[in-house]
Structure 1
């Protein structure tokens, strides 16, 4: 068994952003990733709202990523049932919004880190505390172990670190989503417009990444089936084509011409807002960030941006606690890290409760076929969030 200082579990957006934020504050960390390589082959697009761009600016990678995606000029909501349209100016009224390929975010964050930061093929099995030193002991499925001073769990909605903190299990929305990327070699005709199409109980989003690539998703109330078939991209494509059969021809073509390797089927997951309100997100020198802390529905495009905010706030609090030189005595470290993590959790809790509650209400509204329940969820949403774009105004502050 060997010893490390700061260990981050998971090399997704949250883990890499946290490692980069710590690196910029002079705090060395290693990232333990279960996969053999970077998980950058997903076709998922990630919407980054103005608050996310503020965090990326603090991380020093915003200008690199701006070159990979065009800014939205407006958002359009189209009801195919009643022919109603609603246009929302985004760039001037809301601020900078772009959709990035998840691959571009992962690759850019990874490239900004020291070369030996990420360790691959390291799948965490369990965590326990050393009875004498209270240091976390990480045990991996290959039989190896690490004793460390600090653990930051960025290991997603099915987080082992969250289990160690006794957080309640995440839940499933009554919604599934099919997602993919479609390339138009000669350029797509959709401009700089994020368009939402609504029909019956279905919702289809079409999001330009650049002048040639579209990210799209469709969602509808979940129909229980054998989810094993959804691991076959061709099955997903055929199902998406059938699903979108009553939508405009351009939407059907988008599914037919999708990059087969980009297609995914997802049963959407969330952590209850009230669990976030009262949950214990740190214990000694162990904490969580990103989806491990606050996995939420994608309905506001805030999951990725919230994880970036976490990284900035966490690193700032650790640096303010004087952890730039973490080789002090273990008792001092436990005290300082514990204080830093408590401040981090206090600062983030109100923010992510509001995000999670808004996403929860939207998800429940979209996930029911009952007209009465839709009305009830809509009333609650408007009551708690009269300005439903205010979540974009948040500033996580300087690193």
Structure 2
């Protein structure tokens, strides 16, 4: 579609204009404008959504006094308006300039007291968020993810209704704004090496999401709230301890914590659904599982070279469906694994020290996938369950033969 410069001239009653695509690449370039862009857009527009908007700025003859939604994503736009005399946005509730890599400045929001959502993820040339953003007291969502050249943030965010704050992947930002919200449900500081934990960490509401990052974190935060997910990575924590009030996390992820040596005995009471541990080379063991644990369905432990074995009481993880131990030092699996009647996937990629698989593994009634790729020390496999659909032994250089009952796998699709 090739639009003329005056394509919208005379459309004084137009209030809703939307060019939407899920992809900001080839599909968004199907709408072509002249080299100089559009002459104008209707001043009565209340909703402007144009993914892949193909110009460097909006038309100079566009006065957005009625604009309620301004959404321009995946565009080469540099500024919404050129020149020094830029219009002030008074009425917008949503400003979304996601994935505009050339954007150097956002519109003047000093009068945008109705703004509820500000989305700027992936704006890689943006270096500053104006300080007046802190006074937007109706703001619910602030997404500044992956603005990798951002050097500073407002010192505080005054909105009492702020729910979602994403200020992740900022290698140059060392301080998180003070957040005074009473409704905070999401705080994402992943890959932002803050010098000290912001107080907002302890204000995330029950059922919310918290992601923290940074070598200045030496102790496990004393969180007492039950969260939907908690991710803690790249820190200097040597041991993980829990607060006096035991928190519960739907998903607990500990990533690239190079000094972590031990986990608390009550770990299994803290995790409700998913446990991910990655890149902890000093971690040698997991705590014993003294009582049946319901709900924990997925365990993923990777790049933990010192982890040689699992607790013999693994059978108490009665809800376990997925066990991933890729790139660990695991030498064998406990025989009690046969009691995990819901277990469907076992991944042991590149477990180079793995010597054997329990002979009773055929008793797992729901096992559909067994991945042993790169397990170079394993010599043989026992009889496998008839439920199996996938067996990967690529790179198992010492494996001499497959069990006879795997013939049926050749005929499964």
TM-score (norm. length: structure 1): 0.20
Choose 1 or 2 for highest CA Rg: 2
Q: Which has the higher strand share?
A: 1
Instruction: Select the structure with the greater relative contact order (CA < 8 A; seq sep ≥ 6).
Output: 1
Q: Which has the higher helix share?
A: 1
